[in-house]
A and B are shown apart, each in its own frame.
Chain A
Amino acid sequence: MINITSTTYRQDAWRRLKGNRIAMVSLALLLAIFAMCIIGPFISPYKYTAVNSDIVNQSPSLQHLFGTDDLGRDIFARIWAGGRVSMLIGVLGAFSVTVLGVLYGGISGYFGGTADDIMMRAVEVMNCIPYMIVAILIAFIAGQGIGALILAMTITGWGGMARLVRGQVLQLREQPFVLAAKALGASPGRIISKHLLPNTVGVIIVQFTLDVPIFIFGEAFLSFIGLGIQSPGTSWGAMAAAAQQHLMFYPYQIFFPALLISMTMLAFNLLGDGLRDALDPTLGIQEGI
């Protein structure tokens, strides 16, 4: 007797992802950075806001693993405290873009016709706006905190997700199972949420993974021009911006925030690529697996 257990889509995707060494290393790296952001501030003997004029601009040493900055603050402690902010903005920002984009794209794609035309024209007009200009203005109005940064980047950044979801929904709604649901009298809300969106979830997850680094980058970017997190709070972008001023004399100060930003963005990008391969079963069919 042959013993075959059927695997669900989710198990199948996870198995494929596990087979992708690069994606798994990225995942492990991200989990390690996450963990350090959570426990880092506790295991450091220094508080990230503690100023000490006796130890200003010290190179990395055993006392201060990553050195100290121009106010004598321990960079090791600040990296993980700043990492909390950067990660939070990345994940929350990607999440809000996803919610907004899925709603907008789902509605637009499902109803089609004139509604779709008008909604997509609006996205097109939005895409023609140099988004950073609007983001800078909103960041100014909303004040300079985590919420303001997320708001500024969400308002300017949801168009891509909306178009992606709309394209998917447009394809799916012609499928027989949607017709069947309609024939059974399901409401549009039910069809969108129960039939269409679950089938696009793979694409949405991939896009979410690729949106996180965009937000981390955007935060760093706005911090760099002085609109980001304000002292004594910090983020990787704010640290890199501050360290850039002392690049001539203390290059190590920019090294760690730059390294963390780059590593996180790289890992999210690689994980996103891996997820795309894992979550798209049609690729496997094409390859004859």
Chain B
Amino acid sequence: MLSYMLKRLAYMAVTLWVVITITFFLMHAIPGDPLSGLARELPAHTKANYYAKYGLDKSLGEQYFIYINNLLHGDLGESLKYPGRDVKGEILKYAPATARLGLQAVSIGFLLGSILGLAAAFKRNRWPDYLVTGAALLGVSVPSFVLAALLQYIFAVRNSWLPATGWGGFAFTILPSIALSTSVLAIFARVMRASALDVIGQDYIMTARAKGSGGLSFAFKHVARNAVLPSVTLLGPQIAGIITGSFVIENIFAIPGIGSNFVTSVFNRDYTMIMGMTVFYAVVYMAALLLVDIAYAVIDPRIRLYEPK
């Protein structure tokens, strides 16, 4: 197990390095620099001072090695657009909103989606099945931002039941979480339905039924436990989808999270902020993938993450 974990961590380090390198050079390839967004042109020597202060006058290769070196020392630098703002501090400030939104969306999507899929499988070819499959198809087809607009209109504009935008207590998280979770929910419902149907056809289910099992505990103990595996493999890609979705959803709902700030940083050419947030996203995403793999092995003892010697 230890050697497996070490191998995975080594892979993660390599991937992180690839992500950092790609992002670094892509970012510098964007026309313009942090000063180009200013309303008026700065005098040449002011510009030169600015570039010298942040090391932007050095060659790209040199800047790259300085950045990597600083990163290895845990220093993400200072925002180029807003001097004095520490990148690490900014990320820590914005991460909780994004994390909360993402976790809520994944939980709603996974739990509710699995339960709906299970219900559809048990009531195959009857109205609950048609309802769930139909809703799941709609969920996959309606983009999250369309749904977000719709939710805002119904729950915040027409009836002021929930706040339309902003960030505060739990009430503020409801609409964005729903908007973010719908496509995840739809996919889990579809996958769960298919795999539950497969499980229901197995001999051991017939045996359990013959022995008189039934009801909810039967559904969860015998069917759900065996049918949940394909969903777990899908968790990884779904988390990537949630990260992507957060860029737009946070913008629509004016949530002070990493997603909306990442887009702003790119518009500002705020190099250190872009890099810091990319590193953050990559680390979170890879950690999530690792957790999913470990969870997979825990749920299904047949799967071995490592070869026993």
Q: A138 and B26: CB pair below 8 A?
A: yes
Q: B143 and A125: CB pair below 8 A?
A: no
A240 CB-CB contact with B under 8 Å: yes
B27 CB-CB contact with A under 8 Å: yes
Describe A's contact surface by its main secondary structure.
helix
Q: A51-59, A88-96, A221-229: which one contacts chain B?
A: A221-229
- Whole-angstrom distance between the Cβ of A261 and the nearest chain B Cβ: 6
Instruction: Determine the chain A residues whose CB is within 8 A of the CB of B142 once the complex forms.
Output: 258, 262, 265
B72 CB-CB contact with A under 8 Å: no
Q: Contacts A130-B282, A137-B30 hold; do A258 and B149 have CB atoms under 8 A apart?
A: yes
- CA–CA, A254 and B150, complex, Å: 9
**Interface hits, B235-271 → A, CB 8 Å:** 240, 243-244, 247-248, 251-252, 262-263, 266-267
Instruction: Determine the chain A residues whose CB is within 8 A of the CB of B153 once the complex forms.
Output: 247, 251
Instruction: Determine the chain B residues whose CB is within 8 A of the CB of A213 once the complex forms.
Output: 141
A184 CB-CB contact with B under 8 Å: no
- CA–CA, A254 and B240, complex, Å: 27
A134 CB-CB contact with B under 8 Å: yes
Q: B137 and A266: CB pair below 8 A?
A: yes
- CA–CA, A130 and B247, complex, Å: 12
Residues of chain B at interface, number, CB under 8 A: 43
Q: B157 and A129: CB pair below 8 A?
A: no
Q: What's the count of A-B pairs with C-beta under 8 Å?
A: 111
Q: Contacts A129-B19, A130-B244, A220-B145 hold; do A141 and B30 have CB atoms under 8 A apart?
A: yes
Q: A224 and B240: CB pair below 8 A?
A: no
- Whole-angstrom distance between the Cβ of A251 and the nearest chain B Cβ: 5
Contacting residue for A217 out of B143, B157, B263, CB 8 A: B143
- Whole-angstrom distance between the Cβ of B14 and the nearest chain A Cβ: 7
A42 CB-CB contact with B under 8 Å: no
**Interface hits, B1-20 → A, CB 8 Å:** 11-12, 14-15, 18-19
Contacting residue for A133 out of B11, B138, B281, CB 8 A: B281
Instruction: Determine the chain B residues whose CB is within 8 A of the CB of A125 once the complex forms.
Output: 11, 14-15, 18
B22 CB-CB contact with A under 8 Å: yes
A20 CB-CB contact with B under 8 Å: no
**Interface hits, A222-250 → B, CB 8 Å:** 224-226, 240-241, 244, 247-248
- Whole-angstrom distance between the Cβ of A266 and the nearest chain B Cβ: 4
Query: Chain A 79-108, CB within 8 Å of chain B: the 1/0 string?
Result: 000000000000000000000000000000
- Whole-angstrom distance between the Cβ of B155 and the nearest chain A Cβ: 12
Q: Contacts A244-B145, A261-B146 hold; do A226 and B267 have CB atoms under 8 A apart?
A: yes
28 contacts between A and B (CB under 8 A): A129-B19, A130-B243, A133-B23, A133-B281, A134-B23, A134-B26, A136-B262, A136-B263, A137-B30, A141-B31, A217-B143, A220-B143, A220-B145, A221-B244, A224-B248, A240-B145, A241-B145, A244-B149, A248-B157, A254-B146, A258-B143, A258-B150, A262-B142, A263-B141, A265-B143, A266-B140, A269-B137, A269-B141
Given contacts A129-B15, A244-B252, 20 further A-B contacts (CB under 8 A): A129-B19, A130-B243, A130-B244, A130-B281, A136-B262, A137-B266, A141-B29, A141-B31, A220-B143, A221-B145, A221-B248, A224-B248, A226-B267, A240-B145, A244-B145, A262-B141, A262-B143, A266-B140, A269-B137, A270-B137
The 8 residue pairs across chains A and B that have the minimum distance between CB atoms: A266-B141, A258-B146, A137-B26, A265-B141, A132-B244, A128-B15, A130-B281, A140-B30
